[in-house]
Amino acid sequence: MNTADIKNEKSVRYHGVGISNGCVSGPLRFFRQRRKMGRIRACGDQREERARFEQALLRTREQLDTLQRRAIREIGKKEAEIFEIHAMMLEDEDFLEAVQGALDDGACAETAVERAAEKHAQALRSLGDPYLSARAEDLHDVATQLLRQLSGERPDGDLSTEREPYILVADDLSPSETVTMEKSMILGFVTFGGTPNSHTSILARAMGIPALVGVGAVSEDCDGAYALLDAAEGTLTVSPDAEERCAFEEKQREVNDLAREHDRYLRSLINKPAITRSGRKILIYANVGEGREIAQALLNGADGVGLLRSEFLYLSMDRYPTEDELFASYHDVVQSMQGKRIVIRTLDIGADKQIPYFALPQEENPALGFRGVRICLAREEIFKTQLRAILRASAYGNVSVMVPMIVSEDEVRACRVILNECMEELEREGKKFDHGIEFGIMIETPAAAIMSDEIAREVDFFSVGTNDLTQYTLAADRQNPLVERICEENREPILRLIEMAAEAIHRHDGWIGICGELAADLHLTQRFIDLGIDELSVSVPYLLGVREKVTECK
């Protein structure tokens, strides 16, 4: 499959294995990777090399966690599992022993990592199983991340500044590269290497983007050239002539008509309200983690944002952000909403979601520890700074504020008191804010659901965080493979708690939404509607699917 037919002086055709059918055309952009960082350092003493390696190991581990969270949000839980495998490879005893061995032989940390990775990659490749050979590449991806940490270099080949949609061309893409890429601009993928089992293929399939893998090398002269990618035929035509272009466009119409019929149907729903067959309107909102996802959410028909995870600014800094910095970032986010409602969740961190400068103590059991509103009420100055920033941003749109991890009406009242204080201060200072700003809480503890009647008197809305509600109700951690089935097989207790909360908030003329993962579970959509849920908030890729499902519900 390494053939390039010279059709005439200009056009060149490449063949490969097509992934997810579809025809796209656009300029090629080469993603240039430097796989080998291989700058061999003059070796420090062994103790120093070991310390450098340990440090890189720690950082890489953190980075993998971040990538995994991002992949869960943007692509899907299953596709994100690869980062868990990467973490296990990183901490695999055999791998660490091989690194250790090389260090003992006097190698510097970089060489030790490369040698250890190659040794085990070789072992996997030698089995002759295509799937396991692809995992050898994973091991190299892990090693590359370690080497980057060691050298302090940033990933190169960055295409994030591209303004026009393009067909991405690369040697092969690693999972970490694929996840960190800005996907809105990518029309298709072409990789020199790769198989139907490689990550580019898996992700292309998950994202419904046409791809061609295993094409052999594409000449770098083609960077920027206009090309036709036909995934069904498995061909890439670079610099096509008028005839080829014409034939392709006709084919493109046929193939894409079919492939996109459903897509077009989904798109047709974008600006229509999601109304059930019995005439109930359900709001379909988006969960977003950072400002730039909002444009995507609106393009996919979101009626609003049901959950803005407000941690992003805190996470990107190495000190507490000031009120003005927070205000500036929330202001931008609120303005980009075009008047639609945005629910900003106040800080939700804890021992499991650390921010170093918060200097939170290590805890035996972070899920049941000092987190969310507990931190905010204990460290009021942090809470007030954030609330004031949110209030000031509320002058520029339709903002609601929501507090996580509530267990009692006392906590809700305490939050309300602080919010009122912030309002009075801003009033005195002559700063603008929305006096009628909606105030709500997350229902993510069984206690909050059980006490929902009392709590509902104090708030305008509830939003159910099903992930935590599930783990606290069933006393089972979804991340633990020994008990994950318990979470999957026991939906009823969660649904009954949601029902209690829905009835309570409706008695007090408020509304209720769901912003956890279950909101995107199409098997439950009808049930949620029956329970009286007013709003479903899901991550961007699920927006249209949920909207379609709602229109099919009774």
- Which residues contact another protein (rule: CB under 8 A)? 81-82, 84-85, 88-89, 92-95, 120, 123-124, 127-129, 131-132, 135, 138-139, 481-482, 485
List the structure tokens of 363: 């805890």
Instruction: Name the helix (H) or strand (E) containing 512.
Output: strand 511-514
Count CA within 13 A, CB hemisphere, residue 354. 12
The nearest distance, CB 134 to another protein, in angstroms, is 9
First-to-last C-alpha distance (Å) of the chain: 51
Q: Identify which of residues 138 and 438 has a Cβ nearer to another protein in the complex.
A: 138
Query: What CA dihedral angle connects 347, 352, 357 and 359, to 10 degrees?
Result: 110
Phi, psi of 235 (to 5 degrees): -130, 150
| Cα(31)–Cα(255) distance, integer angstroms | 28
- Alpha-carbon distances, residue 317 vs 77, 154, 313, 358, 482 (angstroms): 27, 18, 7, 11, 36
Q: Identify which of residues 131 and 357 has a Cβ nearer to another protein in the complex.
A: 131
Q: Identify which of residues 424 and 484 has a Cβ nearer to another protein in the complex.
A: 484
- Of 363, 415, 354, 345, the C-alpha closest to 384 is 415
The nearest distance, CB 127 to another protein, in angstroms, is 4
| Cα(86)–Cα(89) distance, integer angstroms | 5
Q: Could you give the residue numbers annotated as active site?
A: 199, 515
| Cα(95)–Cα(459) distance, integer angstroms | 53
Q: Identify which of residues 134 and 456 has a Cβ nearer to another protein in the complex.
A: 134
Exposure of 230 by Cβ count < 10 A (0-12 exposed, 13-18 middle, 19+ buried)?
buried
Using DSSP, state whether 393 is helix, strand or coil.
helix
- Alpha-carbon distances, residue 85 vs 79, 91, 123, 138 (angstroms): 11, 10, 17, 9
Phi, psi of 402 (to 5 degrees): -135, 135
| Cα(539)–Cα(305) distance, integer angstroms | 10
The nearest distance, CB 202 to another protein, in angstroms, is 12
| Cα(147)–Cα(412) distance, integer angstroms | 48
The nearest distance, CB 444 to another protein, in angstroms, is 25
Q: Identify which of residues 134 and 286 has a Cβ nearer to another protein in the complex.
A: 134
Q: Identify which of residues 13 and 135 has a Cβ nearer to another protein in the complex.
A: 135
The nearest distance, CB 135 to another protein, in angstroms, is 5
The nearest distance, CB 480 to another protein, in angstroms, is 9
- Say which amino acid occupies 528: F
Length of the chain: 554
Q: Identify which of residues 145 and 239 has a Cβ nearer to another protein in the complex.
A: 145
170: which strand partners? 31, 191
- Of 541, 456, 446, the C-alpha closest to 495 is 446
Sheet with 186-191: list strands edge to edge.
4-6, 12-15, 235-238, 226-230, 23-31, 166-170, 186-191, 211-213, 17-19
The nearest distance, CB 90 to another protein, in angstroms, is 10
* Contacts for 285 with CB less than 8 Å, ≥ 6 apart: 302, 303, 304, 305, 306, 307, 341, 343, 513, 515, 535, 536, 537, 538
Q: Identify which of residues 95 and 314 has a Cβ nearer to another protein in the complex.
A: 95
The nearest distance, CB 95 to another protein, in angstroms, is 6
Q: Identify which of residues 84 and 325 has a Cβ nearer to another protein in the complex.
A: 84
Rounded to 10 deg, the angle between the 77-90 and 130-151 helix axes is 70
The nearest distance, CB 335 to another protein, in angstroms, is 42
Using DSSP, state whether 203 is helix, strand or coil.
helix
Q: Identify which of residues 117 and 464 has a Cβ nearer to another protein in the complex.
A: 117
The nearest distance, CB 82 to another protein, in angstroms, is 8
The nearest distance, CB 171 to another protein, in angstroms, is 22
- Alpha-carbon distances, residue 261 vs 166, 210, 229, 248, 359 (angstroms): 23, 16, 20, 19, 53
Q: Identify which of residues 84 and 363 has a Cβ nearer to another protein in the complex.
A: 84
